[in-house]
Amino acid sequence: MSSLSSPTMIPLDVLLALPTASEFLAHLGGIYEKSPTFIEQFYTENLCPTTNDASTIQATKARITNIKILFDEMKQYVRRSPSEVQLELLRSHPDLCLKLEQIDATQRDEDEATITEESRQEQGRAGLATLTPDERQNFTEWNEDYKSKFNIPFILAVRNASKYTVLSALEGRLSNVNSSPQEEIAHALFQVDKIAYMRLLEKVTYSQNQEGHGGFLTCHVLDTANGVPAAGMRIELYKYDNTDTKQMVKSFVTNSDGRLPSGPALKGAEFTVGQYQWIFYVGDYFARFSSSRICGTPFLDVVRLDFGLDDPTDHYHVPLLCSPWSYSTYRGS
């Protein structure tokens, strides 16, 4: 389940030691849609041996210790670029939901040339080829209205989204009557950042002398009905693949403090970005307590929480506060 299985990924320290811009671009040139210039500028100003002295290059390598720092530095080249360059970047993105299989052979060749492999994979993962006729008509109309109103394509990071997410986001952004073109450009650039970062995560892994990017996942369960930690609750952690299929990663039984007995659920190389699910066996836990208020058929039996991890350098804490009749959760720390 580790992202290290991808043969195209390069360790961060190896990436930062590449001696030429062409080699650097061969790995990262596609993270911004048809816009490798930003990546080339970053390399030239920070890592290129012909334009930087050894101390500058060494300082860059020492400063960039994880993939998040690398991306934060690279995206500044987009943010600092002139507005016309930013617009060119936005307009390089293809229309979402373009059904290549429904285009005739001549037009297909022309359109395929305008869509990068990264965009094609992202749209495929979101199931955008499965739009019903009504959904496609809505999207087409809203998309044309959006382009007419803001003069840029509708951009959304769709890698982990569904077609319903895309349609809802487009309808919402189009119906925001108070949004100015400048505000929408800023919103689109934010989405471009998300797209580029998710692409980067599929291309760069952690340095050879490290185990993981530094992030980890923890959990804590509190019994709000009895005012105590939920000790002895059975929990399972699953990870989704690029479809709705999931596989169990680990199972646990909470300790006396309502926490996982082994510390973080995921850390090191096993902590990877993606969609996950916690399953809490709440009904089994509360069955041990004698209460006339708990029915033979539990109101809450199994609690399932779907959540996403998108920063491999961060700490994600997912607590559960539960009783036989209610539960709540949040992104903790």
For position 152, which CATH number holds?
Answer: 1.10.3330.10
Q: What is the pLDDT of residue 110?
A: 46
Mean pLDDT calculated for residue range 165-172: 91
Q: Is residue 210 part of a domain?
A: no
Task: Count the domains in the chain.
Answer: 3
**Residue 230 sits in the same domain as residue 174:** no
Higher per-residue pLDDT: 13 or 178 = 13
Whether residue 220 lies inside any domain: the answer is: yes
Residue 6 has pLDDT above 50, yes or no: no
List the domain range (segments joined by +) for residue 200.
95-204
Asked if residue 65 and residue 86 are part of one domain, the reply reads: yes
Residues 232 and 318 in one domain: yes
With a cut of 50, say whether residue 109 has pLDDT above it. Answer: no
In a domain, 39, yes or no: yes
Where residue 122 falls among pLDDT bands split at 50, 70, 90? low
Whether 312 maps to a domain, the answer reads yes
Q: What is the pLDDT of residue 163?
A: 84
Query: Does residue 25 sit in the same domain as residue 40?
Result: yes
The three-class DSSP label of residue 305 is strand
**Residue 278, domain member (yes or no):** yes
Strand 246-253 to strand 234-240: parallel, antiparallel, or no bridges (unpaired)? antiparallel
> Would residue 102 count as lying in a domain?
yes
208 contacts 14 by C-beta, under 8 angstroms: yes
296: domain CATH number is: 2.60.40.180
pLDDT at 139: 87
Q: Who contacts 88 (Cβ-Cβ below 8 Å, separation ≥6)?
A: 35
Mean pLDDT of 295-318: 92
Q: Is position 5 within any domain?
A: no
220 is in an annotated binding site: yes
Q: Is the pTM of this model over 0.85?
A: no
Residues 6+ away with beta carbon under 8 Å from 94: 33, 114, 115, 119, 153
- 220 and 322 belong to one structural domain: yes
Q: What is the mean pLDDT of residues 302-312?
A: 95
Residue that has been written with the tokens 């693949």 in this structure: 241
243 and 155 together in one domain: no
Do 233 and 155 reside in the same domain of the chain? no
On the question of pLDDT at 60 being above 80, the answer is yes
Query: Does a structural domain hold residue 4?
Result: no
pLDDT recorded at residue 124: 55
Angle at the Cα of 65 from the Cα atoms of 61 and 66, rounded to 5 degrees: 130
Which of 51, 71, 90 is the last residue in one of the domains? Answer: 90
Question: Which of 204, 225, 241 finishes a domain?
Answer: 204
Closest CA to 303 of 288, 283, 276: 283
Average pLDDT of the chain?
Answer: 88
Do 100 and 74 share a domain, yes or no?
no
* Alpha-carbon span 138 to 97, nearest angstrom: 11
What's the per-residue H, E or C state across 18-37? CCCHHHHHHHHCCCCCCCCH
CA distances, 154 to each of 10, 124, 179, 199, 284 (Å): 31, 17, 14, 19, 47
Q: Is position 330 annotated in a ligand binding site? A: yes
Chain centre to alpha carbon of residue 177: 29
116 pLDDT band, cuts 50/70/90, is: low
Q: Indicate if the pLDDT at residue 137 is higher than 60.
A: yes
> Over 90: is that where the pLDDT of 162 sits?
no
User: Do 69 and 142 fall into the same domain?
Assistant: no
On whether both 321 and 226 belong to a single domain, the answer is yes
Cβ–Cβ under 8 Å, residues 64 and 6:
no
Of the residues 36, 71, 90, which one is the last residue of a structural domain?
90
Same domain, residue pair 100 and 195: yes
Tell me, yes or no, whether 180 and 232 share the same domain. Answer: no
